[in-house]
Amino acid sequence: MAIEEPKYTVLEKTIPFELRSYAPMILAEVQVDGDLDEASSQGFRLIAAYIFGQNRVSEKIAMTAPVAIEEQSVSSKIAMTAPVNIEGNSGQWTVSFVMPSEYTMESIPKPLNSKVVLRQIPTVKRAVVQFSGFYNNAKIAERTVELEEWMKTKDLQAIGVPKFARYNPPWTLPFLRRNEIMIDVRD
């Protein structure tokens, strides 16, 4: 069964790094507290409840990938994310799912839970590094530094905070798991 992913075009590629241009998308996102694993789990459950029918028309919405997680920066509200994103600062995170492309802001079912927020984001460029296996804070930090170093060699200027994206369910074998760090960049 194929799971929809956000649409993008690869502008530049130096394995394992890519510069991508993402099409506009709608996010369902929540803000949660805790460490990375707690936030990921709690955020996933809240958004999953929404897509599995806890919305004003009790409509099931197709699952998409990835789930993205961003750490909240002190001065930000909700940072731009893609797929399902998690962002956090001092234990504050934003977890988001990209909604299926068939929806518009007018046609997508509205959430019953006020913690779930729908947001349209415009076309965005992102620098991305992909990796497999299990993730932890150290691995995410290491890959983020690698991505930032690559961005410097390409004169890419970051806007926003890094996003961690997971594409596979937890039972996926480690060597088959797809993870990414994404950083929005200035045009």
Which residues, in sequence order, are bridge partners of residue 115?
none
Q: Residues near 109 by Cβ (< 8 Å), separated by ≥ 6?
A: 55, 56, 57, 59, 61
Query: How confident is the model over 83-133, as pLDDT tens digits?
Result: 445 445 567 899 999 999 999 999 999 999 999 999 999 999 999 999 999
pLDDT tens, position by position, 49-76: 999 999 999 999 998 999 999 987 643 3
pLDDT at 90: 61
β-pairing verdict for 92-98 and 163-166: unpaired
Q: Which domains are delineated in the chain?
A: 8-185 (3.20.80.10)
Residues 6+ apart with CB under 8 A from 56: 109, 110, 111, 112
Cα distance between residue 100 and residue 95, in whole Å? 16
User: For the chain, what percent of residues have pLDDT higher than 70?
Assistant: 89
Q: How confident is the model at residue 182 (pLDDT cuts 50, 70, 90)?
A: very high
Confidence of residue 81 (pLDDT cuts 50, 70, 90): very low
Q: Are 115 and 65 in contact (CB under 8 A)?
A: no
Token output for 70: 């961003």
- Mean pLDDT rounded to a whole number for the chain: 89
